[in-house]
Chains A and B, each alone.
Chain A
Amino acid sequence: MFKKNVRLAFFALFLMTIFNQWVIADDLIKLGSGQDEKLDQLARVKVVEAFIEWHTGPAEGYPVFHVSEQGEWLHILIRKTSWMKVRDAKGLEGWVTVGDILLMEDETGELVSLVEPEFDNYSTRRWELGLMNGEFDGSAVNSAYVGYWMTENLSVELWGSQVLGNASEILIANIDILHQPFPSWRFSPFFTLGAGQLFVNPKATLAAAKNRSEDTLHAGIGARYYISNRYFIRMEVKDYKVFTHRATNQEAIEWKIGLSVFF
């Protein structure tokens, strides 16, 4: 009974939020021109090209519904991926590509310059994040990592992985150092070395086996292929040395493939 009430309350809250947003959104459209104080703090750019196209949404697929001519001033409202929402002097709003914005002048009369990530210039993209899947010693593995580039060749990475085997579930936390000898290559090989901890949880259906944790060291090789300046495919193979509490140490091979992005 109590649960049912909670569910009902949640649903009511959900409906109210939607209704509220509709009203607020509606008000904003009416108020539009009354927000001049806020507009003063926004970036202002002038069209230099003969004309630029406005789309109704932040993607190439949305239709072009308006154009701005040379000499027109636009306010930049927000940015989403490689698109910017702009507002002209009449209060009209629409989406323009960042490529078009870079061909405009700001108030100083200079061309707008924004630092965009480039794969061969590490200073434009210090942080990266990736998701990878593959196999660890024959079992499926899901991984995520965050990397920080200290120089154009060297980065530090923090990894979290979950191995889902038939007999057990293994969680792995790793810290890695990665070296890429050719940072300007679009297909860039790398070497990696790391250390970490393994947490093994045997399956509930098995006879009572205890949870255990083990130290591990690993070395690996891999490659990155840059699809665009912002994201790339990454694949790698790592050889794990697991220091068990038993008489012999174990070895495991892990391979993974995934997609990563720069921040």
Chain B
Amino acid sequence: MENWTQRIFLKTALMGTFVASLIASTSPAFAQDKPLIEPDVKPQVVNEALIDTENFEVGTFFGVMNIEDFGSSLLYGARINYHFSEGLFFEANYGQSKGGKTSFETLGNVDLISDRTYSYYNVNIGYNLLPGQAFVGGKYAFNTNFYLVGGAGSTKFGKDSHFTANFGAGYQILLNDWLAINLSAREHLYRTNITGKDKLVFNSEMSTGISVLF
């Protein structure tokens, strides 16, 4: 009988120490898992979605188009570029101008063509040949590019479209990460018989414009 009561007390004592030790052993571990101050930001994994890429450029330009036999006129247009390496880029242009009168038309008071709208599109490949910097005073430095472009497209003049090759060069000043000023000179070549004889014409373009990079 004595043994029996001893056993009961022993059991409860053992249970007590076990529970106590359990609490003692788990609670500090619990405290280690949760820091005193929980940071509200998780470590960020860097991936493509997090980085803003700026390989496209859209712009407008205006200048002078010299149309062989038909004088020089105001030119305006739009341009889109895609930069696919640090040097190389695609460029698509659309430009519009208006042909003037040939000297024959002025002297004879006649019209050779009814529609004088001159429009062209072309798709080119460009190369940033001379990257550099330009300095304005002592405070400002702007990145610049001297680039070459060449490609093909079509010119519509006197209601007819002609396959047109074009090449040229340009100078770009980047005012900041997303805005640039462009100056460019291009030569457009195509065959036409608009003045009566089949010949290769050379039309020169000088233009300036702004573009937005995104």
Set of chain A residues within 8 Å of B47, measured between Cβ atoms: 113-115
Set of chain B residues within 8 Å of A231, measured between Cβ atoms: 84-85, 88
State A62–B87 Cα separation when bound (angstroms).
12
State A56–B131 Cα separation when bound (angstroms).
10
Chain A min CB distance to B174 (Å): 8
Q: For chain B, which range describes its interface: under 10, 10 to 19, 20 to 34, or 35 or more residues? A: 35 or more
B163, A140: Cβ atoms closer than 8 Å: yes
Known: A114-B47, A142-B123, A231-B84. A78 touches B52 (CB 8 A): yes
Point out the residue from B48, B163, B179, B210 that lies within 8 Å of A14, measured CB to CB.
B210
B173-201 at interface with A (beta carbon < 8 Å): 174-177, 179, 181, 193
Point out the residue from A61, A77, A133, A261 that lies within 8 Å of B82, measured CB to CB.
A261
B210, A59: Cβ atoms closer than 8 Å: no
Known: A44-B44, A59-B87, A261-B90. A7 touches B51 (CB 8 A): no
A204, B160: Cβ atoms closer than 8 Å: yes
Set of chain B residues within 8 Å of A131, measured between Cβ atoms: 90, 123, 125, 151
B193, A205: Cβ atoms closer than 8 Å: yes
A10, B62: Cβ atoms closer than 8 Å: yes
Q: Which of A17-25, A151-159, A179-187, A211-219 interfaces with chain B?
A: A17-25
Point out the residue from B84, B133, B154 that lies within 8 Å of A57, measured CB to CB.
B133
Q: Which of A82-90, A189-197, A235-243, A244-252 interfaces with chain B?
A: A82-90
State A80–B143 Cα separation when bound (angstroms).
14
Which B-chain residue is minimally distant from A105 (CB atoms)? B46
Set of chain A residues within 8 Å of B84, measured between Cβ atoms: 81, 230-231, 261
State A59–B158 Cα separation when bound (angstroms).
44
A60, B86: Cβ atoms closer than 8 Å: yes
Which B-chain residue is minimally distant from A60 (CB atoms)? B86
Point out the residue from A22, A82, A164 that lies within 8 Å of B163, measured CB to CB.
A164
Point out the residue from B55, B125, B130, B153 that lies within 8 Å of A80, measured CB to CB.
B55
Q: Does A28 contact B (CB under 8 A)?
A: yes
Set of chain A residues within 8 Å of B19, measured between Cβ atoms: none
Q: Does A108 contact B (CB under 8 A)?
A: yes
Chain B min CB distance to A173 (Å): 16
A79, B210: Cβ atoms closer than 8 Å: no
Q: Does A12 contact B (CB under 8 A)?
A: no
B152, A107: Cβ atoms closer than 8 Å: no
Set of chain B residues within 8 Å of A112, measured between Cβ atoms: 46
Q: Does B161 contact A (CB under 8 A)?
A: yes
Q: Does B83 contact A (CB under 8 A)?
A: yes
Point out the residue from A59, A78, A108, A259 that lies within 8 Å of B128, measured CB to CB.
A59
Set of chain A residues within 8 Å of B133, measured between Cβ atoms: 56-57, 62-63
B131-161 at interface with A (beta carbon < 8 Å): 131-133, 141, 143, 151-154, 158-161
Set of chain A residues within 8 Å of B176, measured between Cβ atoms: 21, 25, 28
Q: Does B110 contact A (CB under 8 A)?
A: no
State A129–B210 Cα separation when bound (angstroms).
25
Chain A min CB distance to B122 (Å): 8
Known: A115-B48, A204-B158. A78 touches B54 (CB 8 A): yes
A1-50 at interface with B (beta carbon < 8 Å): 7, 10, 14, 17-18, 21-22, 25, 28, 40, 42-45
B154, A61: Cβ atoms closer than 8 Å: no
Chain A min CB distance to B154 (Å): 6
A259, B125: Cβ atoms closer than 8 Å: yes
Chain B min CB distance to A115 (Å): 6
Instruction: Please encode chain A, from 99 to 124, with 1 for each CB lying within 8 Å of some chain B CB and 0 for all others.
Output: 00000001111101111000000000
Q: Does A58 contact B (CB under 8 A)?
A: yes
List 8 interface pairs A-B (beta carbons < 8 Å), by A numbering. A43-B46, A77-B52, A77-B177, A81-B86, A106-B45, A114-B48, A115-B48, A205-B160
The list of the 4 closest CB pairs from A to B, nearest first, reads A140-B163, A107-B43, A164-B163, A204-B159
A-B contact sample (8 more), CB < 8 A, given A25-B176, A164-B161: A25-B175, A56-B133, A56-B141, A76-B46, A80-B55, A83-B86, A142-B154, A205-B160
